[in-house]
């Protein structure tokens, strides 16, 4: 998996350089049934080595509301609870050149996606991908989806409103309503006896 890098990527302007940043390893158990994908961790998250570490990012408050994972818990415990509920967490981009934290500052020519073919082969029960914002979805559809084979190519894809503080066009309540689809997806899988129907399932 990609690791954080301090290398710099030469911009197309020629007289500037843009930092090359790398995403974190995925947070997932083999029995995950959904995956939440962002684009690339922002500067606050990279500095803290934690997903969604910016204090004004609404990711963890939303998960507290829709999945019952208290945002006040230590970060490792929040990740454990997320995995216990059947959710995986990762980013679409493995590396990219970006100045600052905004998706709009990503250099398109520098994008290298994560290895989703390997990821889905290791997590065969994932049926739905939830994208945290438009950038994650657009890069996935352009850079990842065409290279996938079945059944990974036919997973359900759902775009959710970005939790970034830069996405201020929706209220928290409006985002919570949209992100509630994650909770409903997990409840549906649990109610249908998802794991019991698969004789090859083994809990890690």
pLDDT of residue 192: 52
Residue 160 resides in a domain = yes
pLDDT of residue 198: 45
Residue 32 resides in a domain = yes
pLDDT of residue 168: 75
Residue 107 resides in a domain = no
As annotated, the active-site residues are 57
pLDDT of residue 167: 75
Which domain CATH number covers 179?
Answer: 3.40.470.10
Does this model's pTM top 0.75? My answer is yes
Residue 73 in tokens: 């818990």
| Structural domain total, the chain | 1
pLDDT of residue 102: 73
Residue 139 resides in a domain = yes
**By residue range, what is the domain housing residue 32?**
27-90+126-191
Identify the helix (H) or strand (E) that includes residue 174.
Answer: helix 172-191
pLDDT of residue 17: 78
pLDDT of residue 173: 95
pLDDT tens over the chain, length 204 residues: 444 333 444 444 333 577 888 999 999 999 999 999 998 898 899 999 999 999 999 999 999 999 999 999 999 999 999 999 999 999 999 989 888 767 677 787 888 999 999 999 999 999 999 999 999 999 999 999 999 999 999 999 999 999 998 877 889 999 999 999 999 999 887 655 444 434 444 444
Residue 200 resides in a domain = no
Residue 45 resides in a domain = yes
């Amino acid at each position: 998996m990609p690791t954080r890098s301090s290398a710099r990527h030469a911009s197309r302007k020629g007289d500037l350089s843009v930092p090359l940043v790398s995403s974190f390893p995925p947070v997932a158990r083999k029995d995950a049934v959904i995956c939440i994908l962002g684009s690339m961790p922002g500067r606050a998250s990279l500095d803290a080595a934690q997903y969604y570490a910016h204090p004004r990012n609404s990711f963890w408050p939303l998960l507290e509301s829709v999945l019952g994972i208290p945002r006040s818990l230590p970060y490792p415990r929040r990740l454990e609870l997320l995995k216990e509920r059947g959710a995986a967490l990762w980013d679409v981009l493995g590396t990219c050149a970006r100045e600052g934290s905004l998706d709009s500052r990503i250099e398109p020519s520098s994008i290298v996606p994560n290895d989703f073919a390997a990821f889905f082969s290791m997590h065969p029960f994932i049926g739905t991908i939830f994208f945290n914002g438009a950038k994650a979805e657009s890069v996935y559809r352009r850079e990842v989806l065409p290279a996938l084979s079945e059944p990974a190519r036919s997973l359900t894809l759902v775009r959710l409103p970005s939790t970034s503080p830069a996405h201020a066009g929706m209220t928290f309540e409006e985002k919570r309503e949209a992100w509630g689809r994650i909770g409903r997806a997990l409840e549906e899988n649990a109610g249908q006896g998802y794991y019991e129907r698969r004789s090859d399932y083994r809990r890690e």
